[in-house]
Amino acid sequence: MALFLPDTNIFIYAYHGEEPYGSHIKKWIAEKKLVVSSIVAAEFLSGAIQGEENLFEALLDKFGSLPIDTAIARIAANYRKTFFKTKRHLKLPDCLIAASAKLYNATLVSHNISDFPMTDIKKLKL
């Protein structure tokens, strides 16, 4: 079963009613193909207003979030280390999100694909 892991920006656009983001999120929820990174949850909730926070908390109650464990930490560290050598500095949260997508074999969905140059993950730009 194909799983989709949206980056924080996809949830932000969806909650502001921008398309096609909202339609895709609704489809993945209905098909039970949505996974949420705990990093994305923290990023979204840290900037959410009350109504958005309530909706997102309901989403987390239904789907949960992927934990950051040692396996994900190792993959993320490898991404960051590899790109650091090329003088391209990746943000650790982005590396953790990408590592979660890789470990759970999910397609990472972002509006900012350039934040995720890792070639060993499936990526989708909406």
Tens of pLDDT, residues 42-87 = 999 999 998 899 999 999 999 999 999 999 999 999 999 998 888 7
Report the alpha-carbon distance of residue 35 to residue 33 in Å, rounded. 7
pLDDT band of residue 21 (cuts 50, 70, 90) is very high
Averaged pLDDT, 1-10? 94
Averaged pLDDT, 115-122? 91
pLDDT band of residue 13 (cuts 50, 70, 90) is very high
Peptide linkage before 67 cis (omega within 30 of 0):
no
The pLDDT of residue 8 is 97
Residue type, position 94, single letter: D
Exposure on the CB side of residue 21, measured as CA atoms within 13 A: 18
Averaged pLDDT, 109-123? 92
The pLDDT of residue 1 is 73
Q: Please, are residues 36 and 59 in contact by the beta-carbon 8 Å criterion?
A: yes
Residue type, position 89, single letter: H
The pLDDT of residue 22 is 95
Q: Length of the chain in residues, anyone?
A: 126
Q: Please, are residues 37 and 65 in contact by the beta-carbon 8 Å criterion?
A: yes
The pLDDT of residue 126 is 76
The pLDDT of residue 50 is 87
Model pTM score: 0.93
Helices (H), 1-126: 8-15, 21-30, 38-47, 50-63, 70-85, 92-103
Delineate the domains of the chain, giving CATH numbers in brackets. Answer: 3-125 (3.40.50.1010)
